[in-house]
Chains A and B, each alone.
Chain A
């Protein structure tokens, strides 16, 4: 029987790692994710997880050790955030290019400067071009579940790409919620043992990994990562369906909430989706035709699902905790790509908010709604809007 425990998202991530039974974990402490390796080292110390815990001297070495371990043929896990993920940046490309199914848990945190330990998504968003799969959790249960699903998809032979699962700093990493811990046997059945097909350092069968790719071959390797990302779309759907069958919790690349007959659909990721659902309920009570959508899978970007979503609304209002300079938020760019050649498309208005852990309140959402309503009424509005800015201190 699955048990329910009250825990932080960091603990949920550690539990997911325990259930997935990685053989090597290499990690370096960083706020807000420190509890993940702490908890895992406890599991290892108590013999609850039979793994090697490599206490590396930096995040760069954490991911490098994970690459070594994964290339040696074992399931591998780590956790980090913000500057730590940025320090891994170089190796993230390599892990994807070498097609190693490493999974990282990320406590989504803002990037310096100024140094800031609180939540936004700039860390993982900045890694969106590395080739890694990206999942975003709304709550602690999702943090646990999505890590298991990430392993399942990453290790699928049709994919073989590393994956990161993000959950918001402090809002989730340090906040307790009831989390259902699935049965180990069911997880074992769901994931199976990792049997490497292409990456193993075996003296009995010596292979060369990480060779030099001349112009004659490099592009094909990059295309391989592209293709694997495309293939992951179907594999993710299958993994979600199997997860639901086994554990009863349903996931979708884009989860919709009260989008039926909506004029305006707010779109967001992570924990903000929880706030947003409340907000939509509140607006619906007032008779406003407003819905919400949550992006659970950001890479591969669910282009088809976005197109379906777009058919349902007159205005898509994107709520983003990240900045892509000269563009707006990264979602704005992704939505534009998905919809640019559609004959009929809604207006898209982009909102940047909640950076560096600033609370996103109903008041902020009202501000966004007012702009979205103007767009709905055919008035001209700014494409990119910064919400909740303290203009008085600028």
Chain B
């Protein structure tokens, strides 16, 4: 009987015993990311372990390295919140000089990447370090107890964007860090999701294969911060893709005019021209995604806020070169 090869190596770099919350989507993301990374290292350098990780301060950092324990089976360093990209730059320079074969993986959350770490990230990308930067995007400062970041979506409740008499929750649209990264015209930029692990693994491998900088932004669920059921992480992440809230795309070789969109599924109708996606008709309303999360609960009392979010999502897709139809419930 033929044995099917598993979609990704059975080797583990993110070990069981870390202290992440039950149902943590980001833990899943890091586990898959390091597995995918190691496969490319094996292929490229003949050594699956040929990598080191520079990690920004954040929830995945504190839960994985509580002295005297560690969840990491790879060389790993944490320095501060805003400088994972700069630390990775230094490691890469040192490895180059030491003649060490391998690649550096930098990891940061949305706070450590989209906000305080943006400058160091830009510097690292612009200097063309041979580093893959993985932004795990749980859309708020989860380490410090769910405060809004620039990656928090419009309308979301956080402890610093509470809905109230004069507030609908977060009042700014989500910052599109992947597009900012792409503006550096680096070899590879992608968005991914734990809702489509195969696509994520494929993209991490692609990023790892690149010579030069690569950036991957993976949306991952946070049951604590999103007030969502522990067991529904992957389902929610998949709904983000299927409702159009979270686009999956790739930008290669710095060609920001050639954005490759990954088909959303969930019954969405995809229209292509010259092999490129130009329009998507989503079948599931964004409400299906929103309703599973307590952080959006208050929006259902203010449907105009949901419409506002729908408009923002359309604008975001437009920036990607895609016209989208986002239905309302019942349409």
Q: Please give the residue numbers on chain A whose beta carbons come within 8 Å of chain B beta carbons, in ascending order.
A: 23-24, 26, 50-52, 54-58, 60-61, 64-74, 76, 90-91, 94, 98, 200-214, 217
Most B-side CB within 10 Å, residue of A50, A52, A211: A211
A203 & B102 in contact (Cβ 8 Å cutoff): yes
Cβ of B90 within 8 Å of any chain A Cβ, yes or no, is yes
B62-70, B134-142, B150-158, B303-311: which lies at the interface: B62-70
Ranked nearest first, the 10 interchain pairs of A and B with the lowest CB-CB distance are: A68-B90, A65-B90, A57-B123, A64-B86, A72-B94, A61-B86, A64-B83, A68-B87, A52-B93, A210-B78
Cα distance A90–B68 in the bound complex, in angstroms: 23
B90 & A210 in contact (Cβ 8 Å cutoff): no
B90 & A60 in contact (Cβ 8 Å cutoff): no
B52 & A58 in contact (Cβ 8 Å cutoff): no
Most B-side CB within 10 Å, residue of A26, A72, A94, A212: A72
Cα distance A71–B104 in the bound complex, in angstroms: 13
Residues of chain B lying within 8 A (CB to CB) of residue A70? 90, 94
Residues of chain B lying within 8 A (CB to CB) of residue A65? 86-87, 89-90, 93
29 A-B pairs with C-beta separation under 8 A: A23-B93, A24-B93, A24-B97, A52-B93, A60-B82, A60-B120, A61-B120, A64-B83, A64-B89, A64-B90, A68-B54, A68-B86, A68-B90, A69-B93, A73-B98, A74-B97, A91-B79, A98-B79, A201-B77, A203-B50, A204-B49, A206-B74, A208-B70, A208-B72, A210-B65, A210-B77, A210-B78, A210-B79, A212-B67
Q: Identify the closest chain B residue to A199 (Cβ).
A: B77
Report A222 CB to chain B, min CB distance, Å. 13
Residues of chain B lying within 8 A (CB to CB) of residue A210? 65, 77-79
Q: Mark B194-224, 1 if CB is under 8 A from A, else 0.
A: 0000000000000000000000000000000
A64 & B87 in contact (Cβ 8 Å cutoff): yes
B67 & A214 in contact (Cβ 8 Å cutoff): yes
Q: Which of B79, B83, B91, B126 contacts A72 (CB 8 A)?
A: B91
Q: Identify the closest chain A residue to B96 (Cβ).
A: A52
Cα distance A74–B123 in the bound complex, in angstroms: 22
Do A71 and B49 form a contact, CB below 8 Å, given A57-B122, A94-B79? no
* Given pairs A57-B126, A203-B52, A211-B65, 9 additional interface contacts (CB within 8 A): A26-B93, A68-B87, A68-B90, A68-B91, A69-B94, A98-B79, A206-B49, A206-B76, A212-B61
B98 & A74 in contact (Cβ 8 Å cutoff): yes
Residues of chain A lying within 8 A (CB to CB) of residue B102? 203
Q: Identify the closest chain A residue to B93 (Cβ).
A: A52
Residues of chain A lying within 8 A (CB to CB) of residue B76? 201, 206-209
Q: Mark B111-127, 1 if CB is under 8 A from A, else 0.
A: 00000000110110011
Q: Identify the closest chain A residue to B66 (Cβ).
A: A212
Counted as pairs of residues, one from A and one from B, with CB atoms less than 8 Å apart, the total is 161
Residues of chain A lying within 8 A (CB to CB) of residue B97? 23-24, 50-52, 74
Cα distance A24–B102 in the bound complex, in angstroms: 18
Cα distance A249–B56 in the bound complex, in angstroms: 44
Cβ of B172 within 8 Å of any chain A Cβ, yes or no, is no
Cβ of B95 within 8 Å of any chain A Cβ, yes or no, is yes
B89 & A211 in contact (Cβ 8 Å cutoff): no
Cα distance A64–B86 in the bound complex, in angstroms: 6
Residues of chain A lying within 8 A (CB to CB) of residue B90? 24, 26, 54, 64-72, 76
A54 & B93 in contact (Cβ 8 Å cutoff): yes
Q: Identify the closest chain A residue to B63 (Cβ).
A: A212
Residues of chain B lying within 8 A (CB to CB) of residue A98? 79
Residues of chain B lying within 8 A (CB to CB) of residue A213? 67
Do A68 and B77 form a contact, CB below 8 Å, given A52-B93, A214-B67? yes
Q: Which of A57, A68, A74 contacts B79 (CB 8 A)?
A: A68
Residues of chain B lying within 8 A (CB to CB) of residue A200? 75
Q: Which of B70, B80, B82 contacts A211 (CB 8 A)?
A: B70
Cβ of B249 within 8 Å of any chain A Cβ, yes or no, is no
Cα distance A344–B50 in the bound complex, in angstroms: 63
Residues of chain B lying within 8 A (CB to CB) of residue A51? 97
Cβ of B178 within 8 Å of any chain A Cβ, yes or no, is no
Do A206 and B93 form a contact, CB below 8 Å, given A61-B83, A68-B87? no
B80 & A90 in contact (Cβ 8 Å cutoff): yes
Cβ of B47 within 8 Å of any chain A Cβ, yes or no, is yes
Q: Identify the closest chain A residue to B85 (Cβ).
A: A61
Cα distance A72–B96 in the bound complex, in angstroms: 11
Do A67 and B65 form a contact, CB below 8 Å, given A52-B94, A61-B86? no
Cα distance A217–B47 in the bound complex, in angstroms: 35
Cα distance A209–B91 in the bound complex, in angstroms: 13
A206 & B83 in contact (Cβ 8 Å cutoff): no
Cβ of B272 within 8 Å of any chain A Cβ, yes or no, is no
Q: Which of B50, B65, B88 contacts A212 (CB 8 A)?
A: B65
A72 & B89 in contact (Cβ 8 Å cutoff): no
Cα distance A202–B73 in the bound complex, in angstroms: 11
Report A200 CB to chain B, min CB distance, Å. 8
Do A55 and B127 form a contact, CB below 8 Å, given A67-B90, A203-B50? yes
Report A99 CB to chain B, min CB distance, Å. 13
Residues of chain A lying within 8 A (CB to CB) of residue B100? 202
Cα distance A56–B62 in the bound complex, in angstroms: 27
Cα distance A18–B95 in the bound complex, in angstroms: 19
Cα distance A166–B126 in the bound complex, in angstroms: 32
Residues of chain B lying within 8 A (CB to CB) of residue A69? 90-91, 93-94
Cα distance A200–B76 in the bound complex, in angstroms: 10
B72 & A206 in contact (Cβ 8 Å cutoff): yes
B89 & A61 in contact (Cβ 8 Å cutoff): yes
Report B281 CB to chain A, min CB distance, Å. 43
Residues of chain B lying within 8 A (CB to CB) of residue A209? 76-78
Report B258 CB to chain A, min CB distance, Å. 28
Report B46 CB to chain A, min CB distance, Å. 12
Q: Which of A60, A66, A94, A207 contacts B75 (CB 8 A)?
A: A207
Most B-side CB within 10 Å, residue of A24, A55, A202: A24
Q: Which of B54, B73, B85 contacts A206 (CB 8 A)?
A: B73
Cα distance A72–B88 in the bound complex, in angstroms: 10
Q: Identify the closest chain A residue to B47 (Cβ).
A: A203
B119 & A58 in contact (Cβ 8 Å cutoff): yes
Cα distance A202–B50 in the bound complex, in angstroms: 8
Report A337 CB to chain B, min CB distance, Å. 31
Cα distance A47–B91 in the bound complex, in angstroms: 21
Q: Identify the closest chain B residue to A203 (Cβ).
A: B49
Q: Identify the closest chain A residue to B98 (Cβ).
A: A74
